[in-house]
């Protein structure tokens, strides 16, 4: 499989007979990203995704990544079936430069078809291109779907524990 | 770092045997293995293993295959069966609720209960996130590392 790299347009691969392309996000994708996120989370957040576009899809593209997985239809129409966002962060929490996966979502009807895996591999390639050799994410303990996915991609528990406190 | 006297989480022998047997069977689709073959590899009696396999069969994870070359075959979904699913067939994982009854009389007991529950939650999330398919990948990686190390030492 081939994937896009920073600054390049889409590379494609074929999965279960349908062409899926993983590429950098475009402004015109945001309505579909908002709709996909709403289908998955039950909450529409158009302002948040517009802001995410400017933060991760508009500047510092060498260390910020916002990728979408696009299924191309027979009449050159396309559907966004997943997206992933990440960023190379350095020295926070005492951590050496590392790629963080900040968001991942796959269209429920398109799951188990390799979309998440393609997005994961594509962002790993982007992080390598950016010069880091480790990536990290944070998942809610009760989110078995995401935990199982990241585990299946070889992610293991890291050296940090997340702590929090209710404010009085 | 390990605290003195603190080892990794302990699993009951039946749980360990069940995981090993499932990895043997799920790792190679359509594979059939006799109880004695699995038992020999892990140093477990056929009697004990047979009991474990009965539990796995009742849970729909393996089926017995009769006739020459028979034994057991995997029939579950390796991408959806987690270590927690398997372990829960053999032991009462995360018995925080029963502990609470004993300790709720004191603030110290409740505080300790809170910490132990936190540990149980993390352990449960870990075991519940690792499928048999993921374990098979881990086993493959360990074999590859061992192969590389062996090649270097020669």
Q: Which of B122, B129, B141 is the closest to A151 by Cβ?
A: B129
DSSP state of B70: -
Chain A residues in contact with B114 (beta carbon < 8 A): none
Q: Which domain holds residue A99?
A: 11-152
Give a yes or no: residue A85 inside a domain.
Answer: yes
Chain B environment of A150 (Cβ under 8 Å): 129
The position carrying tokens 């291109």 is A129
Contacts of B133 in chain A (CB under 8 A): 152
Say if the Cβ atoms of B121 and A152 lie within 8 Å. Answer: no
* Structural domain contains residue A108: yes
Domain contains A157: no
**Smallest CA–CA separation between A54 and chain B, in Å?**
33
The reported pLDDT for the residue numbered B93 is 75
ipTM for this model: 0.79
CB A150 within 8 A of CB A139: yes
Contact A141 B131 (CB under 8 A): no
pLDDT in tens, chain B (154 residues): 344 444 567 889 999 999 999 999 998 878 889 999 999 999 999 999 999 999 999 999 999 988 766 789 999 999 999 999 999 999 987 665 566 677 778 899 888 888 988 988 999 999 999 999 999 999 998 888 887 777 766 6
CATH number, position A106 = 3.40.630.30
- Chain A segment 107-166 residues within 8 A of B by beta carbon are 141-142, 144, 147-148, 150-152, 154, 157
- CA angle, corner B107, sides to B105 and B108, nearest 5? 105
Q: How confident is the model at residue B117, as a pLDDT?
A: 87
Q: Which residue has the higher pLDDT, A113 or A76?
A: A113
Identify the pLDDT of residue A148: 94
Cβ atoms within 10 Å, residue B47: 9
What DSSP assignment string belongs to A144-168? HHHHHHHHHTT----S---------
* Closest CB to A152 among B121, B122, B133: B133
User: Smallest Cα–Cα separation from B90: which of B14, B20, B9?
Assistant: B14
Asked, for residue A94, whether it belongs to a domain, the answer is: yes
**Chain A contact present for B136, CB below 8 A:** no
| Count of domains observed in chain A | 1
Instruction: Examine residue A84 and state whether it is found in any structural domain, yes or no.
Output: yes
Cβ pair B137:A154 closer than 8 A: yes
The reply to whether A168 falls in a domain is: no
Assigned domain for A75 exists: yes
Rounded-to-integer distance, Cα A113 and Cα A3, Å: 17
Listed by start position, the domains of chain B span: 13-148
Fold topology of B13-148: Arc Repressor Mutant, subunit A (1.10.10)
Query: Mean pLDDT, chain A, as a whole number?
Result: 87
Conformational region of residue A149, where left means phi above 0, alpha means psi within -120 to 50, and beta covers everything else? alpha
Inter-chain CB proximity B79 and A152 less than 8 Å:
yes
Binding-face residues of B in 59-88 toward A, CB within 8 A: 79, 82
Residue A147: closest CA among chain B residues belongs to which residue?
A: B129
Residue B54 Cα, gap to closest chain A Cα (Å): 27
């Amino acid at each position: 499989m081939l994937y896009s790299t920073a600054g390049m347009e889409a590379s494609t691969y074929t999965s279960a007979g349908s062409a899926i392309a993983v590429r950098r996000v475009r402004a015109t994708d945001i309505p579909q990203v908002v709709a996909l996120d709403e289908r998955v989370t039950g909450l529409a957040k158009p302002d948040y995704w517009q802001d995410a576009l400017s933060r991760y899809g508009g500047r510092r593209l060498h260390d910020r990544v916002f990728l979408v997985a696009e299924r191309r239809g027979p009449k050159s129409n396309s559907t966004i079936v997943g997206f992933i966002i990440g960023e190379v962060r350095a020295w926070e929490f005492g951590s050496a430069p590392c790629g963080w996966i900040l968001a991942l979502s796959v269209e429920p009807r398109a799951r188990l078809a390799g979309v998440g895996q393609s997005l994961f591999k594509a962002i790993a390639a982007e992080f390598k291109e950016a010069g880091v050799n480790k990536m990290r994410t944070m998942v809610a303990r009760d989110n078995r779907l995401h935990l199982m996915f990241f585990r299946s991609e070889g992610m293991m528990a890291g050296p940090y524990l997340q702590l929090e406190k209710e404010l009085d | 770092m390990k605290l003195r006297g603190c080892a990794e989480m302990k699993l009951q022998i039946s749980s360990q045997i069940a995981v090993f047997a499932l990895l043997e069977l799920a790792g190679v689709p359509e594979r059939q293995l006799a109880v004695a073959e699995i038992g020999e590899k892990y140093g477990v009696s056929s009697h004990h293993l047979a009991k474990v396999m009965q539990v796995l069969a009742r849970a729909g994870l393996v089926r017995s295959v009769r006739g020459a070359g028979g034994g057991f075959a995997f029939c579950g979904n390796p991408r959806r069966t987690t270590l927690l699913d398997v372990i829960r067939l053999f032991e009462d994982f995360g018995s925080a609720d029963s502990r609470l009854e004993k300790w709720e009389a004191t603030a110290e007991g409740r505080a300790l209960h809170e910490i132990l529950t936190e540990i149980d939650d993390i352990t449960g999330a870990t075991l519940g996130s690792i499928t048999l398919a993921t374990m098979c990948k881990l086993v493959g990686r360990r074999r590859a590392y061992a192969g590389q190390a062996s090649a270097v030492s020669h």
